[in-house]
A and B are shown apart, each in its own frame.
Chain A
Amino acid sequence: MNLNALRAFVVKELHHILRDRQTLTVLLMMPLVQVILFGYALRSDVRDIRMAIVDPTPDNATLELQSRFLSTMRFRIVATGQSTDIIEPLFRRDKADVALVFDPDFASHLRGTEPARLLIAIDASDPNTGTTYLNYTRAVIQAYQAELSAGSNQVRIVTETRMRFNPTLESVNLFVPGLIALVLVLVSALMTAISLSREKERGTMEVLLVSPLRPQQIIVGKVLPYLVLAFANVLTALLAAWAVFHVPFRGSVVLLLLESILYTLVSLALGVLVAAKTASQRAAMLTAMLATMLPNALLSGMIFPIASMPRWLLPVTYVVPARWFIVIARGIMLKGVGLGILWRETLVLSAMALLLLVAAMRSFKPRME
């Protein structure tokens, strides 16, 4: 490969990127803004909440509260018992989402002056749904309390909460890996698609094609600068997550960055493919959004848990690159695991990268079609 030509190409691309100040600002700010927006704003909704009840002294009052839960249609009581021993096995086998534990004196305190005590235990292995479970449970209890207090006597129900598996409940922890996936796709696929189709629109692609440059060289020259930009984005997202939300980083940074490069290559190849198939900048942009951003945001498990998707949709998620990257990034960042655990996902991503890069090179013809 002619290194001189390649260097000139990369320098030219860097000029394009650096001189379009507005786009560059947006691209660099995006990880920051998204981390903050998603971190604060995104919460998922749940319908079928499986509840376990521990009621050592069943009574009118405790049964009344249980029926309140059932009447919301959102809760389903899957087990009742007298002792807290039933909770742990239920959670471990994923048979219950919420456990409600009545204090033995709940009913008598409710009629008296002392506060009536309740313990809410929640399976928060997915912190978002965990929070949602908690909010719904509290809402039912508060409504009950307000109703009882409507008369002359003031009723106090005091709840205590235990979040299981993720005691600090940092939902943003789970989002940061998904966010990195989204930002990388955006920068890589969208921007390469746009910049390649811009060459077509300006007519410069005609001259590049007539030059002795091989199509592969044109692609490499296009893709390299965006690899650097994507890399900067990963760092910004991680930094923002750490600085604003104190997201922990338990695993190897180097491994995560290497995996990010792999995932970026997949996205870049997708961008090249999109540009090869579309005629204008606008078409390239919209196609890139449709083909890469949406599935990567919606079908990757970033926002909606894959486990809650309909069965027919599951095979579709297997071809979404972000699905695999998110597992990898969550594993490295939150669990501190390495390639020993994540080799399968890494292998899938590598295969995707290889396949798409070959397809991208082939899609790029040395002539006008």
Chain B
Amino acid sequence: MSNAVELRSLSKSFEKVKALDDVSFDVAEGELFGLVGPDGAGKTTLFRILTTLLVPDKGSATVCGLDVVKDLWAIRSRVGYMPGGFALYPDLSVAENLEFFAAVFGTTVEKGYELIAPIYRQIEPFKDRRAEALSGGMKQKLALSCALVHRPDILLLDEPTTGVDAVSRREFWDQLGNLKASGLTIVVSTPYMDEALRCDRVALIHSGKILEIDPPGAVGRRYPLPLLSVTGGERFELLRALREFPEAHAVYLFGDELHYTDKRAEVSAQAIAAEVQEYLAQRGHTDAQVAPISAGIEDSFMELMGGAPPPTAAAA
């Protein structure tokens, strides 16, 4: 199988900000590929390079085997792009928006109908309503229909579920699953972890750097710091005590247990577990169970969204 997207040492800066810093990865044809990272991580810049809107400072990128700098017009008719914040015309009706984008991409709604039908049919009853009067979920469906109507080879979606209710988000991802099943390559960015879990592979991105690319189940393998699970006793008391521990990097509640990350990458998790156990006993939490664990996607996700970049993150 050939690659739908190939990025090689891609860098892009705006004045003093490095939006992308030496980014390289491939997306296989037919893959549902997720980009996960906080605001300002460089996701939008990456999409704009893939859609030929921006030229990289360094490195190269191909989409469908076409160079994003040289083959600008060839790429444009083959990608379906949904920028952040649904680019629709609020004063045009649902049908008018769709017809306009179909015409602009040199096709008609009829020709693209088969592909968009599962999505568009849900908003078709409101086709005479102006786009400004639609709910977030309906706007999202309309924007996706507009991006799909010319039957693109690859779908590029920049945070398509931001500002959309939970039910609509789930429906939207069901639709993406169907589109993927039909063979479409999809690159999508998201700030939500439950959505990241539905991708074939996920790239964690922070400050313009790719930290890790893995299937969602394997994300966490490259977690850079010792991680402990702590259970037993009153959870909020434990949380407070652990956060006051001088070597604590981060402590989060995960259901019944607490996940504790230590600052010291060089000390073994076993040694730290013993140390934490002793500290908790001193604070009166004698029944606390402390054990080293390996990180899952949740831990990586919390680490990523938590703000400061992980200290010894290894580029994938």
User: Which residues of A come within 8 Å of B, CB atoms?
Assistant: 2, 4-5, 7-9, 11-12, 15-16, 19-20, 202-204, 206-213, 366-368
Interchain CB contact under 8 A, A368 and B53: yes
Closest to B101 in A: A207
Shortest CB-to-CB span from A140 to chain B, Å, is: 60
Q: Which of the listed residues A9, A203, A210, A212 has the most CB atoms from chain B within 10 Å of its own CB?
A: A210
Q: Given A4-B106, A203-B87, A212-B76, decide whether A368 and B99 contact each other with a Cβ distance below 8 A.
A: no
Complexed CA–CA distance, A368 and B81 (Å): 15
B88 at interface (Cβ–Cβ under 8 A)?
A: yes
B116 at interface (Cβ–Cβ under 8 A)?
A: no
Set A19, A202, A212, A213: member contacting B87, Cβ < 8 A:
A202
Complexed CA–CA distance, A7 and B146 (Å): 18
Interchain CB contact under 8 A, A366 and B72: yes
Interchain CB contact under 8 A, B52 and A12: no
Interchain CB contact under 8 A, A15 and B91: yes
Closest to A214 in B: B73
Complexed CA–CA distance, A203 and B86 (Å): 8
Interchain CB contact under 8 A, B53 and A209: yes
21 contacts between A and B (CB under 8 A): A5-B106, A7-B103, A8-B99, A8-B100, A12-B89, A12-B96, A16-B91, A16-B92, A202-B88, A206-B48, A206-B87, A207-B83, A210-B79, A211-B77, A212-B105, A212-B106, A213-B104, A367-B52, A367-B53, A368-B53, A368-B54
B233 at interface (Cβ–Cβ under 8 A)?
A: no
Set B86, B91, B104: member contacting A211, Cβ < 8 A:
B104
> A15 contacts which chain B residues (CB < 8 A)?
91-92, 96
Closest 10 CB pairs of A and B: A8-B103, A203-B87, A204-B87, A212-B77, A211-B104, A206-B83, A207-B87, A368-B53, A19-B91, A210-B81
Complexed CA–CA distance, A183 and B92 (Å): 27
B37-70 interface code vs A (CB 8 A; 1 in, 0 out)? 0000000000010011111000000000000000
Interchain CB contact under 8 A, A208 and B92: no
Interchain CB contact under 8 A, B103 and A5: yes
Interchain CB contact under 8 A, A211 and B54: no
Shortest CB-to-CB span from B122 to chain A, Å, is: 21
Q: Given A4-B103, A5-B106, A366-B72, decide whether A20 and B91 contact each other with a Cβ distance below 8 A.
A: yes
Shortest CB-to-CB span from B44 to chain A, Å, is: 10
> B84 contacts which chain A residues (CB < 8 A)?
203
Dominant secondary structure of chain B at its interface with chain A = loop
Complexed CA–CA distance, A213 and B76 (Å): 9
Closest to A12 in B: B100
Complexed CA–CA distance, A310 and B84 (Å): 53
B85 at interface (Cβ–Cβ under 8 A)?
A: yes
Set B51, B73, B104: member contacting A8, Cβ < 8 A:
B104
Interchain CB contact under 8 A, A208 and B91: no
Shortest CB-to-CB span from A258 to chain B, Å, is: 31
Q: Given A8-B103, A12-B92, decide whether A211 and B76 contact each other with a Cβ distance below 8 A.
A: yes
Shortest CB-to-CB span from B74 to chain A, Å, is: 9
> A16 contacts which chain B residues (CB < 8 A)?
89, 91-92
Shortest CB-to-CB span from B195 to chain A, Å, is: 21
A12-B96, A211-B77 given; name 14 further pairs at CB < 8 Å: A8-B99, A8-B103, A9-B100, A9-B103, A15-B96, A202-B89, A203-B85, A203-B87, A204-B87, A204-B89, A206-B53, A207-B101, A212-B73, A212-B105
Interchain CB contact under 8 A, A207 and B103: no
Complexed CA–CA distance, A2 and B147 (Å): 19
> Which chain B residues (116-151) contact chain A, with CB distance < 8 Å?
146-147
Shortest CB-to-CB span from B101 to chain A, Å, is: 7
Complexed CA–CA distance, A9 and B55 (Å): 27
Complexed CA–CA distance, A8 and B147 (Å): 17
Complexed CA–CA distance, A170 and B57 (Å): 64
Shortest CB-to-CB span from A357 to chain B, Å, is: 22
> A206 contacts which chain B residues (CB < 8 A)?
48, 51, 53, 81, 83, 87
> B79 contacts which chain A residues (CB < 8 A)?
210
> A2 contacts which chain B residues (CB < 8 A)?
106
> A204 contacts which chain B residues (CB < 8 A)?
87-89
> B88 contacts which chain A residues (CB < 8 A)?
202, 204
Complexed CA–CA distance, A224 and B104 (Å): 16
Shortest CB-to-CB span from B252 to chain A, Å, is: 34
Complexed CA–CA distance, A20 and B106 (Å): 28
Closest to A4 in B: B103
